[in-house]
Amino acid sequence: MKPLILPLFGHDALAASIASGLDAEMGSVSLRHFPDGESHVRLDSNVVQREVIAVANLHDPDAKLAPLLFAADAARELGANRVGLIAPYLPYMRQDTRFAPGEAISSRSFARVLSGTVDWLLTIDPHLHRFNALDELYTRPNRVVHAAPLLSAWIAANVASPLLIGPDAESRQWVAEVAAGAGAPFLVLDKVRHGDRDVAVSVPEVAQWRGHTPVLVDDIISTGRTMIETIDHLRAAGMKAPVCLGVHAVFAGDAHAALMAAGAAAVLSCNSIPHASNRLDVSASLVQAARAMLA
């Protein structure tokens, strides 16, 4: 029997592409709230003896965790062989330590709950900083898809004389890979975060790169402050307006508009989180990885 894709939380276009690539059937789940705010979940598709794959946009995750848990449990109780999860954006990965006394290490708790909910997990470029691999957090089989080849190809095809700029030391390996794929030089900056919207980024040494087009690359664009700070430095140095490329378009509040207003020539992202800036399609990479999970 064909695998069954269950789209959750409005990522239907991506779910449909994945279903088509896997030759799977598109299922449906009805989600609503009772008058008291509790979640009501109903599977509208037959899951008996099937590989069920939930495709879930987990950006802004708190209200989604309970319905995801209920849907996965229902699928298993109703006879699914396994319930896998494709979460193109994996949230809470940045809360990977106790930055101040008493703080919750949310990435650990979130991983513990998800690991108890699904049989396998597939995601795109999770923010791995203090943890080196998902296996340090997630106890279920998992696979990570890397967006670097997509970013490299887009840059090579669309930007003349690109100079890639990564925002912080932990992005070095990733930015180096994107740059190598695009055949472009790269710089990596130093970043210090003082607060949610208070970021200091070192001044890039761009004297030898005048005439190049800066391409700021990051895994997540959230408040946009990291990129805005960098743009300010580049403008002061007389560089061209940069292209901003993020894998995950979190864009908290007015971050996207603020980034454009700061002087970005263009802002682009992958479709791991639905957003107007989505230009790079991750579905083929997810299909390939999902095939391996199902094998």
Binding site for ligand R5P (CB under 6 A): 94, 127, 167-168, 199, 218-226
- Would you say 204 or 224 has its CB closer to ligand R5P? 224
- Would you say 59 or 127 has its CB closer to ligand R5P? 127
- Would you say 50 or 127 has its CB closer to ligand R5P? 127
Q: Closest separation between CB of residue 155 and ligand R5P, Å? A: 18
Q: Closest separation between CB of residue 191 and ligand R5P, Å? A: 7
Q: Closest separation between CB of residue 19 and ligand R5P, Å? A: 31
Q: Closest separation between CB of residue 10 and ligand R5P, Å? A: 23
- Would you say 53 or 221 has its CB closer to ligand R5P? 221
Closest CA to 54 of 139, 1, 137, 114: 114
230, exposed or middle or buried, with CB in 10 Å at 0-12, 13-18, 19+?
Answer: buried
Residues in the chain: 295
Q: Which residues in 88-226 belong to E strands, given as ranges?
A: 120-124, 142-145, 162-166, 186-188, 191-195, 198-201, 213-221
Give the HSE-up count for residue 162: Cα atoms under 13 Å, Cβ half-sphere: 28
Q: 3-class DSSP state for residue 101?
A: coil
Taking the C-alpha atoms of residue 291 and residue 174, their distance in angstroms, rounded to an integer, is 25
- Would you say 120 or 174 has its CB closer to ligand R5P? 174
Please state whether beta strands 51-56 and 4-8 pair in parallel, antiparallel, or not at all (unpaired): parallel
57, exposed or middle or buried, with CB in 10 Å at 0-12, 13-18, 19+?
Answer: buried
Give the HSE-up count for residue 43: Cα atoms under 13 Å, Cβ half-sphere: 26
Taking the C-alpha atoms of residue 273 and residue 59, their distance in angstroms, rounded to an integer, is 7
Q: Closest separation between CB of residue 225 and ligand R5P, Å? A: 4
- Would you say 67 or 126 has its CB closer to ligand R5P? 126
Q: Closest separation between CB of residue 220 and ligand R5P, Å? A: 4
Please state whether beta strands 25-26 and 4-8 pair in parallel, antiparallel, or not at all (unpaired): parallel
- Would you say 269 or 283 has its CB closer to ligand R5P? 269
Q: Where on the phi/psi map is residue 266: left (φ > 0), alpha (ψ -120 to 50), or beta?
A: beta
Q: Closest separation between CB of residue 129 and ligand R5P, Å? A: 6
